[in-house]
Chains A and B, each alone.
Chain A
Amino acid sequence: MSTSHRHAHELSRRAFFSQAGLSLGGIALGQLLGRDARAFDARAQRGPMHAPRAKAVIYLHMAGSPSQLDLFDPKPKLQELSGQPCPQSLLQGKRFAFLQGTPNLQGSPFRFARHGQSGAVLCEHLPHLASIADRLAFVKTVHTSEFNHAPAQLLMLTGNPRFGAATLGSWVSYGLGSLTQDLPTFVVLVSGGKTPDAGKSLWGSGFLPPQHQGVQCRTHGEPVLHVSDPAGLDRAGRAEILEAQRALSADEAARSGDPDAFARLESYELAFRMQTAVPEAFDLSREPEDVLELYGARPGHRSSTEGAPDPRVAARPDDAAFANSCLLARRLVERGVRFVQLFDWGWDHHGVSPGEDIPTNLPIKCRQIDRPITALILDLERRGLLDETLVVWGGEFGRTPMRQNNVPNAPWMGRDHQPEAFTMFFAGGGMKPGVTIGETDELGTHPVADPVHVRDLQATILHLLGFDPFRFRYPFQGLEQRWIGPEDHASIVRKLLA
């Protein structure tokens, strides 16, 4: 078979399996079509390439990018030089989003201590996470190639700073398929009062078939859009309508022999099951009091940030929106959801408006996430799920040791974007607990040991999920598309592996 023919054949096969909606109720469909098990197996579309360490991912993205200097990477030298003009050597040849002229260096207003056997460093506003420091793996030298929010978020999650590529959750859905017949494979939960800067492209399937896109679920009200029946229709009524549809469509499908017709009928059957499964999975009131307490979750909670003109100003320390999302993430993973992507907005502390002040606003955001993330990791662990669930925490870049200065005499303190060095942490899913990788220079501006590019993290995550990051690809527009990008610069961070 010639190259183009094989390509065309692959495309057709792929189109068939996507059009036939095989990631849904595949077995029944396979039977309907009289296809053998081999054909059905292809619905996993790729399948892992080696034994995976992680079978599910909970990705906690702090949109806006938290200050690593105020949370995990304190710098004594920076404290010492705080208030003094920044050395020119740190400014030359660099692009900043907002910094102008010669800004001053800025120390952290917070206290830090070492925790656990591993001696991981955390700031005073993350006491719960500090208590499980030995379960976490920190990387202090993550660096990226982008310094504006949307491109950096896109690079982090879709592997490409421009729109149009597929996000990690979609790659996982495409590569590993679904573990559940009743719930979406890839769920997105948003808190903080706003959607992240790059918007829904962050959970778009890009060039992958669209059924791999993330399903944004709401954490109160109707979790999945239009999952509730119209007013006046009960379950029995819906079942009767479905039965009539079955008769109508089976007749049409039988006449045409069109596999799409069978697939659509199957999708209605799954929709019917989802109508029961989704509300159950999203009903936090089914959790016992001690679990709610562990997370700080509150069923039915509505965040004060919703609809607020500036959610950062409206943010309250006891806001339970993120806690609810964390608890939902566990419930979903428990029920077979592969990928839960959380976005929490409000971490872009520039110090140029009232909601962007590191000394007052960062502790509020810390309060919102500290207990829930800790609870999530402990809860996954005691249920035996942590080993095969990878938890990822981070922003899209870091923040500068320089105080932002483009608003003269601003009473707030904040920092500009810094792509060259920032901290992320991980738990479970084959990540080595209790390690801290990498070291930054004395002002925290660049890695001096073990630099880890975003691409390296991506390669590592794919490796844990059972994929060879260099060979896990999808042909599109003349290029073998990969999550780690077209170049082979990435390497798996072996020091992170358990």
Chain B
Amino acid sequence: MRLLVSSILGLGLGAALSAQEPHWSFTPPALRAVPDAGGTWVRNDLDRFVAAAHAARGLAPEPEADRATLIRRVSLDLTGLPPTREALEAFLADASPEAYERMVERTLADPAYGERWATLWLDLARYADSRGFEKDSGRTIWPWRDWVVRALNADLSFDRFTELQLAGDLLPDADDEARLATAFHRNTMTNDEGGTDDEEFRTLAVKDRVETTFQVWMGLTMQCARCHAHKYDPISTQDYYGAYAIFDQTADADRYDESPLLAVASEAQRAELAALDERIAARRAAGGEGSAVTWGAWEKSAVVASSPFGERPAELAWSAAPELVDARSLALELPAGSAAFFRRTLRCAEPTSLRLAFGSDDTLCVWLDGEKMLERPEPRGLVPAQDPLELSLAAGEHELLVQVRNTGGPAAFWCAVDAELASLIAQRSERERALPRVPVLQELPTDKRRATKVHRRGSFLDPTEPVAAALPAAFGPRGEGTAIDRLALARWLVAPANPLSARVFANRLWARLFGRGLVETEEDFGTQGAKPTHQGLLDWLALEVHRRGWSQKEMLRLLLLSATYRQRSECSAEKLASDRWNLWLARGPRTRLSAEMVRDQALLASGLLSRKLGGPPVFPPQPPGIWQVVYDAADWKTSEGEDRYRRALYTYWRRSSPYPTYQTLDAPTRDLCAPRRFGTITPLQALIAWNDPAFQEAAQALARRVAREEEGLEAQLRAAFLHAATRAPRAAELDALLALHARRLAAWSAKREDARRFACEPLGPLEDDQDPVAFAALTACCSALLNSEACWGKG
């Protein structure tokens, strides 16, 4: 293999590899003294590190930003939404010295917090509502997304969050919630294209799990070691496949049915199922089989090797079948093509009508006194009570005979002669079948474990030497002598001895608040990544992560309450020129809204936003013809009612056809783990914010809202500013909007139909007494506002 010699030399790899000192991020952070710097500016120890860097560069911090700026910043950072006008006014009116702290607490407690931070986690988890590749069919995995929102809102500690998602199924006390968490790693793509090798795409999914895990928790570019030893970081192919072996033992295998699946019940659904279970148990205890008939015991035949469907052999050898219990499924050993027969006699004292229910895997044929009563010739899986059967019986003795024939795979039989019990069980199974089924991780039984081998040059077709599950060698103790499985990996990742995870976690929170990590390359803490600007601060934060028990809200409080975060972002031209990227934090963060924020802000400001939490993904309006995917007839069915206006988090995410607004505003495709988004500014974004009917609708709704709330144009424009930009307009801004309003009034007065369309499409008609020209002009002002810098940014 020829290497990229030129690029290696160009990057000075020789120096990097031969250095005696280990790379800074590969040894755990050490406790060191907090610098004595910053004086009275300091609000917590974090600021002392920042102040020390200021002092070294002759920089002075900026004063605290005004309250409107602060609440907009905090609110968008924590919840992804700007503050409501009420929240803004409450904060402005709070005279307490603790006003800021109280505002932060209120915002942290808003359930929108979980939605915002889940959105970020979903980029890392490569969450989508479809499976990827050619067919890209739908996938039901939103209950896991809701789990993430709940976990974040409850401030589940990140170490527990880690354990549950990587290995919830392996915990000794694993419950459904823990198993649901493991869907994290079922967000990998699966390929349903005809003619693909399932093993190829299973191994690709396992590789994705390895790479995503090390990317998310340790900021390492593990994928390099898939084919050859990592060229820059101490990760060998052995390390890669040792980690691969950890993930190689799950039962999923790129199957079309996405098994193994977990049925996920909501609180209410769980209660309903429990109530049914209670009634079923009570009915069983009562032991009623109906009094009008006297039943004989079940008998079974020997397996009939080659048994055509619906044909009763002349001779059958019968024996007692005590294992067949009413309304319980009985697994059968039936090779393909063979059948089992069951029979039972019953005696009626008088003519009787009887309701029975059956279930089978696969086919089923039922005779009464030699006459066929029920035929189910199609191959299928067993569902209790899937075939109800009503019989009218004359007085006397009867024979019930059943054939269960298997076409392949497992086989089973189910029968209930207690109609009431059958009906309860049918209800339960119907409820259960209606539950969303989410793909989860499930470890293979010990006798079915795969023998993992190293894939030469990353090719699954070229397996070489066997490899045991192992943790990579270069990052602290490897848990020698203990069994290495996903749980061991999860615990190793968040152990204090792991040099990277707490740093990566702290850096990620920092980057989301300050717009840029202390290590800019969030995705690469290796030797090719950027050096930290404040290594002392990052290490101190990493130690705080452990000290604060991996609480994300605790860490965010630390950052938000600092003087560093609370600075205003405006500064002198000289300061701006000397530190364009605000590397040295001598001013506050000024960042741009994400795709989700831009849309949610417009909906919130206009009063359209639904605050409903969780549930299946929704389909807000999108232009026709976007979904045009090979071999899948799935259609975008625009949601009705409040589901049109849900937060962006809930928009159906199809990998091959992402929602155009988010795609254009720099959202990733979610094919693979995306540690950070790269912001762009393009005219396509401008076209969306101007012309996408969703934004036009928001502008119309905002105009109607302020017209409802305020008298007089100036007051209305002020209110629009407060709703959308969290501040009052400055004089020049108000003048610009007033001028626009006047010119539009004049133009549309001569074109009233145009005015009506601009004010009403797509939101809907105005009241009879409302002047379309005035509303169109106000809508134009709202659109200009929503498209202006005051709304695109948070300073």
Q: Which of A209, A306, A417, A488 contacts B4 (CB 8 A)?
A: A488
With a cutoff of 8 Å between Cβ atoms, the chain A residues found around residue B712 in the complex are none
- Complex-state Cα separation, A162 to B207, whole angstroms: 12
* Stretch from B284-292, B323-331, B625-633 at the A interface: B625-633
- Cβ-defined contact, B4 with A264, below 8 A: no
Q: Which of B12, B233, B730 contacts A3 (CB 8 A)?
A: B12
Chain B residues with Cβ below 8 Å from A475 are 528
Contacts of B681 in A (CB 8 A): 19-21, 24, 211, 260, 263-264, 266-267
- Taking a contact as CB atoms under 8 Å apart, the answer to whether B754 and A4 are in contact is no
**Is A218 touching B730 in the complex (CB atoms < 8 A)?**
no
- Considering only residues 395-419 of chain A, those with a C-beta below 8 Å from chain B are 416-417
A11 touches B739 (CB 8 A): no
Is there an interface contact between B193 and A248, defined as CB atoms closer than 8 Å? no
- Asked if A3 meets B15 with Cβ closer than 8 Å, knowing A251-B730, A268-B686, A478-B528, the reply is yes
Q: Are B671 and A236 touching (Cβ within 8 A)?
A: no
Most buried by B among A198, A232, A265: A232
- The listed residue (A271, A306, A477) touching B687 by CB distance below 8 A is A271
- Flag A266-289 by CB within 8 Å of B: 1 or 0 each: 111011001100000000000000
The residue from B528, B658, B761 contacting A231, defined by CB atoms under 8 A apart: B761
Report yes or no: A268 in contact with B787, Cβ–Cβ below 8 A: yes
The yes or no answer to B486 lying at the interface (CB within 8 A) is no
A187 to B363 CA separation, bound complex (whole angstroms)? 55
8 Å CB interface, B149-206 against A: 189, 191, 193-197, 204
B744: which A residues are within 8 A, CB to CB? Answer: 237, 240
Q: Are B789 and A265 in contact (CB under 8 A)?
A: yes
**Known interface pairs A7-B528, A473-B7, A478-B526; A252-B790 also in contact (CB < 8 Å):** yes
Q: Mask for B348-392, Cβ within 8 A of A = 1, else 0? A: 000000000000000000000000000000000000000000000
Q: Which of A273-315 contact B (CB under 8 A)?
A: 274-275, 306, 309
A471 within 8 A of partner (CB): yes
Number of contacting residues on B, CB 8 A?
115
The yes or no answer to B784 lying at the interface (CB within 8 A) is yes
The dominant DSSP class at the A interface is mixed
Q: Is the CB of B630 within 8 A of A194?
A: yes
Q: How many A-B residue pairs have CB under 8 A?
A: 293
Q: Which of A69-77, A222-230, A362-370, A428-436 contacts B (4 or more CB under 8 A)?
A: A222-230
CA A15 to CA B221, docked complex, whole Å: 20
Interface pair B630/A12, CB less than 8 Å apart: no
CB distance B784 to A230 under 8 Å? no
Residue in contact with B688 in the complex, picked from A196, A225, A261, CB distance below 8 Å: A225
Contact-residue bracket for chain A: 35 or more
Q: Is the interface of B mostly helix, strand, loop or mixed?
A: loop
Task: Judge whether B732 is part of the interface by a CB distance below 8 angstroms.
Answer: yes
In the complex, what's the smallest C-beta–C-beta distance from A40 to chain B, in angstroms? 16
Tell whether A256 pairs with B527 under 8 Å between CB atoms, given A3-B12, A271-B683: no
Chain A hits for B687, CB < 8 A:
224-227, 271, 274-275
Tell me if A258 and B628 are in contact (CB < 8 A). Answer: no
Q: Does A16 interact with chain B (Cβ within 8 Å)?
A: yes
Contact between chains at A240 and B780 (CB < 8 Å) = yes
Does B761 contact A162, Cβ atoms closer than 8 Å? no
A341 shortest CB reach to chain B, Å: 16
Chain B neighbourhood of A218, CB < 8 A: 625
Whether B737 sits at the interface, judged by CB under 8 Å, is: yes
Stretch at the interface among A81-89, A199-207, A374-382: A199-207
Whether, in the assembled complex, B765 has its beta carbon less than 8 Å from a beta carbon of chain A, the answer is no
Known: A19-B679, A232-B754. A244 touches B737 (CB 8 A): yes
What is the bound-complex CA distance between A20 and B580, given in angstroms?
12
- Any B CB within 8 A of the CB of A130: no
Is A37's beta carbon under 8 Å from chain B?
Answer: no
**For B685, what are the chain A residues with a Cβ–Cβ distance below 8 Å?**
267
Given A196-B630, A227-B687, A274-B687, residue A232 in contact with residue B4 (CB < 8 A): no
**Cross-interface CB contact of B788 among A15, A252, A267, cutoff 8 Å:** A252
Q: Mark B752-795, 1 if CB is under 8 A from A, else 0.
A: 01111111010000000000000010001101110111101101
**Interface presence of B530 (CB below 8 A):** yes
A267 near B625: Cβ-Cβ < 8 Å: no
Shortest B734–chain A CB gap in Å is 10
Among the 9-residue stretches B275-283, B420-428, B473-481, B570-578, the one with 4 or more Cβ atoms under 8 Å from chain A is: B570-578
What is the chain B residue whose CB lies nearest that of A18? B680
Distance A194 CA – B135 CA, assembled complex (angstroms)? 12
Q: When chains A and B are docked, how far (Å) is the Cα of A263 from the Cα of B592?
A: 12
Given contacts A16-B580, A225-B688, A261-B793, 13 further A-B contacts (CB under 8 A): A24-B682, A98-B195, A148-B195, A150-B193, A225-B660, A228-B691, A229-B691, A240-B747, A241-B787, A260-B679, A270-B686, A478-B524, A486-B4
